[in-house]
C-alpha cells in the first residue's frame, strides 16, 4: 500500500503499477493517520507534516519519500526510531529554485509588480518605479549548498560582487564560484541584495532577526526562497513598516498557507505561495526520484537517497 499525500504529477506514478496506490490530503492530520493504518510507503511534498503522532499510526510503514528537498516537515529522528527510512530528492528542484531566485531579484529591484498593478489600475507612472540594476551590485548569499551554489553560478554574467556566509563551506569552494566568505554581520552590512539558501533547522530558525536587519542598508532587497522562519517574520514586518530596508521577495512563510500574513500586504514585498519548485520539470524529477526510492525500499534494496539509517526495519 502506497499513500500519496501531496499532489504529484500523474506521469511519475506509472512505475507503482501493481501496488495499491491511495491518495489522501496530507495537510489534514486525521485523514493522513487514517490512510497510514495499513500503508507500507508514504509519498509527500512539504504540506504533509509527519511527526511522531503520525508515525504512531503507521505500524507497517517502511519508507517516507519526500518528492523535493526540504525535510523540515518530517521528524526524521522519530522515523529513525520507528525503523522507517526517509528519502528525499536532493537535487530535483535546485535549478527551478535558483532560476526563480535570480528572476525575482530583478523583478524586485525593478519594481515590476507594483508597476504592473499601477498600470492595471490606470496609472502610467514611469517615474515612480525607477529601479536599480542587479549588475555590479553586491549580492550576499546565506548558504552555499546546492541552490546557493547554482544561484552564484547563474549570477556570473551580472558581474556582481558576491559575498557568502556559510559555516560549512571552505574558502576554496566559495572562491570556485567567485564568492568571498564573510560572517553574517558583514554580509548584511555590505549587500544590496541578500538571498537565503539554508534549510530550516533549530540552528537556522530566526537566523536573520531584528539585530541582523538593523545592520542592513536601507535599500536592501531581502530574498527568501528557502524556508519561512529563517528570517524572523515579526522583525521583517517591522523593518518593512519603518522602511529600514528597501523590500523583500518572500516565497516561503513560517506557517503555510500564509493567508492573512501581514508580510504579504507591504507594497515593497513580492510575495508568492511557495513556488520555488513549482515547475513541470522539477515536479517530474522530484516525483520520479521519490517513486524510485519507494520501489527500492519495498523491494528490500538499498535506497541511495535515504537520509537516515533506521535502527530496525519492521
Active site residues: 227, 256, 274
Whichever of 46 and 111 has its CB closer to ligand 3PG, that residue is 46
Per CB under 6 A, contacts with ligand 3PG among 241-300 are 274, 276-277
Q: Which of 109/274 has CB closer to ligand 3PG?
A: 274
Here the cell at position 282 is 522539477
Range 176-235, binding ligand 3PG (CB under 6 A)? none
Contacts of 66 (CB under 8 A, 6+ apart): 44, 45, 74, 86, 87, 88, 89, 290
Stretch that binds ligand 3PG, among 64-72, 99-107, 127-135, 165-173 (CB under 6 A): 64-72
In the complex, minimum distance from the CB of residue 226 to ligand 3PG, in angstroms, rounded to a whole number: 8
Q: Which residues contact 253 (CB under 8 A, 6 or more apart)?
A: 228, 233, 261, 263, 274
User: How near is the Cβ of 104 to ligand 3PG at its closest, in Å?
Assistant: 14
Going across the sheet that includes 269-271, the strands are: 179-181, 161-165, 138-142, 193-196, 221-224, 247-250, 269-271
CA-to-CA dists, residue 104 to 166, 196, 252, angstroms: 22, 13, 13
CB of 102 to ligand 3PG, least distance (A): 17
Closest listed residue to residue 179, CA positions, set 225, 138, 146, 212: 138
- The interface with ligand 3PG within residues 67-96 (CB under 6 A) comprises 68-70, 93
Q: List the grid coordinates of 95.
A: 535549478
> Toward ligand 3PG, which CB reaches closer, 69 or 98?
69
What's the Rg (C-alpha) of the chain? 21
Stretch that binds ligand 3PG, among 63-71, 143-151, 189-197, 298-306 (CB under 6 A): 63-71
Closest CA to 80 of 61, 96, 98: 61
Binding of residue 100 to ligand 3PG (CB under 6 A) = no
List the x/- string, 43-62, binding to ligand 3PG by CB under 6 A. Answer: --xx----------------
The contact set with ligand 3PG (CB under 6 A) reads 45-46, 68-70, 93, 274, 276-277
Amino acid at each position: 500500500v502506497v499513500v500519496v499525500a501531496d499532489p504529484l504529477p500523474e506521469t511519475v506514478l506509472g512505475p507503482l503499477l501493481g501496488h495499491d496506490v491511495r491518495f489522501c490530503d496530507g495537510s489534514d492530520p486525521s485523514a493522513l493517520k487514517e490512510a497510514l493504518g495499513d500503508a507500507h510507503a508514504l509519498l509527500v511534498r512539504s504540506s504533509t507534516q509527519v511527526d511522531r503522532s503520525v508515525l504512531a499510526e503507521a505500524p507497517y510503514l517502511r519508507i517516507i519519500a519526500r518528492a523535493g528537498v526540504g525535510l523540515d516537515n518530517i521528524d526524521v529522528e522519530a522515523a529513525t526510531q520507528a525503523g522507517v527510512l526517509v528519502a528525499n530528492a536532493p537535487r530535483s528542484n535546485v535549478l527551478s529554485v535558483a532560476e526563480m531566485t535570480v528572476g525575482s531579484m530583478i523583478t524586485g529591484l525593478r519594481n515590476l509588480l507594483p508597476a504592473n498593478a499601477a498600470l492595471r489600475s490606470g496609472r502610467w507612472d514611469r517615474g515612480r518605479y525607477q529601479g536599480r540594476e542587479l549588475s555590479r551590485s553586491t549580492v550576499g548569499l546565506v548558504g552555499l549548498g546546492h541552490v546557493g551554489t547554482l544561484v552564484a553560478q547563474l549570477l556570473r554574467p551580472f558581474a556582481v560582487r558576491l559575498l557568502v556566509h556559510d559555516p560549512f563551506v571552505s574558502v576554496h569552494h566559495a572562491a570556485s564560484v567567485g564568492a568571498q566568505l564573510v560572517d553574517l554581520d558583514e554580509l548584511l552590512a555590505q549587500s544590496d541584495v541578500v538571498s537565503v539558501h539554508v534549510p530550516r533547522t533549530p540552528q537556522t530558525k530566526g537566523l536573520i532577526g531584528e539585530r541582523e536587519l538593523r545592520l542592513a542598508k536601507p535599500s536592501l532587497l531581502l530574498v527568501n526562497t528557502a524556508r519561512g522562519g529563517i528570517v524572523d517574520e515579526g522583525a521583517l514586518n517591522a523593518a518593512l513598516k519603518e522602511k529600514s530596508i528597501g523590500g523583500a521577495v518572500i516565497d516561503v512563510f513560517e506557517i503555510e498557507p500564509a493567508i492573512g500574513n501581514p508580510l504579504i500586504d507591504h507594497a515593497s514585498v513580492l510575495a508568492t505561495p511557495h513556488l520555488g519548485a513549482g515547475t513541470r520539470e522539477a515536479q517530474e524529477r522530484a516525483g520520479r526520484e521519490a517513486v524510485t526510492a519507494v520501489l527500492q525500499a519495498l523491494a528490500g534494496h538499498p535506497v541511495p537517497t535515504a537520509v537516515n539509517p533506521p535502527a530496525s526495519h519492521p
